[in-house]
Chains A and B, each alone.
Chain A
Amino acid sequence: MVWLSVTDDKGLENGLRLTEDQQRRRRNRSIAMALALGGLVVIMIAITLVRGPIPLVVPL
């Protein structure tokens, strides 16, 4: 099973050339993933500010 792909600067992928539609969809997916990760970071910062750091060591 092959999991890696090859992309060169001419847009060739394993000898297959992405169509414009495929490139557009891939770009959209990348943007959505970036936004989701950015949202996750914002959530983590907001929760840390509101709740404070969670103590890793609980005094006995």
Chain B
Amino acid sequence: MAYVEKLDPTDDREALDISSADVGDYIALLKPRVMSLVVFTALASLLLAPGGVNPVVAIVSLIAITIGAGASGSLNMWYDADIDARMARTRTRPVPAGRVKPREALAFGLILSVGSVAILSLTANWLAAALLAFTIFFYAVIYTMWLKRWTPQNIVIGGAAGALPPVIGWAVVTNSIGIESAILFMIIFLWTPPHFWALGLLKAEDYRKAGVPMLPVTAGAAVTARQILLYSVVLLPAGVAPAFIGLASPAYGLVAAGLGAMMIWRAIPIVRAGGNDNTAARRLFGYSLFYLFIVFAALLVDRGLDQLGWFG
């Protein structure tokens, strides 16, 4: 028995295509590694924010923020499929590889975007939901559709999207945006350029072929190396700042200063080599991931020790 009667076999055959996507392809659309960063920084912010929040509200909010981040990843992969197909690093992604159709990635991203914002508005508050909606819009439209293909400052400005999850987490608890969450934002915002430009130095040829105006492509490796060092230097005081506004103890400040100094130390060899030392760039890229994780972990440990009375 046929469930639905149809169809003129001469109709558009594309519509008869049967999806070959597996569940893993849809998970890949969400960019799980980016999601892990979002989860961790938003969680840290939720736990650091004053006042506390019901655990169920916190967990559901975290899920919504994570899904929202994944949604923007899916929209990014939908729009960037042409670029991704030209780059070795990204050509096996579900859309350029043909396992997920562009319209499927678009629909997936839109549904998750609306759903995540709706859940956050019902669970937490309108400010947090609005911030999540803005984050998705900023990443999918401002960064992906505009900045990425237009300016070498793409990842500098676009980094705001990746830096917003702690602000959302803070808003979930406090229904406000405080100086504290602004500083957490600045840490990720200033961390983004050295992180992505280190990758850009390694993949400059890929970006050139794809026509993406990353700084190493437009300004060269030496300029990029100097910019990496500059941002690493500015990142150090931003990383230490939580200790100066009472969000963390002086002990955290010392740890953050050491981590920031190591970031600068890792950037110096890249400058010395004029940006042409792949080993140094790879080391900085790897260290930058470690840096961000440890800074936020240190904030959490510091808060935990404070609550246990370690700092008097």
Contact = CB atoms under 8 A, between A and B. Distances in A.
A52 to B, nearest CB: 12
B119 interface: yes
Contacts of B2: 6-8
B180 to A, nearest CB: 25
A2 B14 CA distance: 9
Q: Is the interface of B mostly helix, strand, loop or mixed?
A: loop
Contacts of B21: 25, 29
Interface string B6-46: 11010110011011111100100000000000000000000
A22 B22 CA distance: 9
A24 B201 CA distance: 41
A25 B19 contact: yes
Contacts of A18: 18
A3 B7 CA distance: 10
Interface string A16-56: 10100110011011011000000010010011011100100
A6 B123 contact: no
Given A22-B18, A43-B63, A54-B122, A8 B1 contact: yes
A25 B56 contact: no
Contacts, number: 79
A4 B56 contact: no
Contacts of A1: 11-12, 15
B123 A26 contact: no
Contacts of A28: 22-23
Contacts of B123: 43, 47, 51
B20 A25 contact: yes
A43 B22 CA distance: 25
A50 to B, nearest CB: 5
B3 interface: yes
A4 B19 contact: no
Which of A2, A31, A51 has most B Cβ within 10 Å?
A: A2
A15 interface: yes
Interface of A: 1-9, 13-16, 18, 21-22, 25-26, 28-29, 31-32, 40, 43, 46-47, 49-51, 54
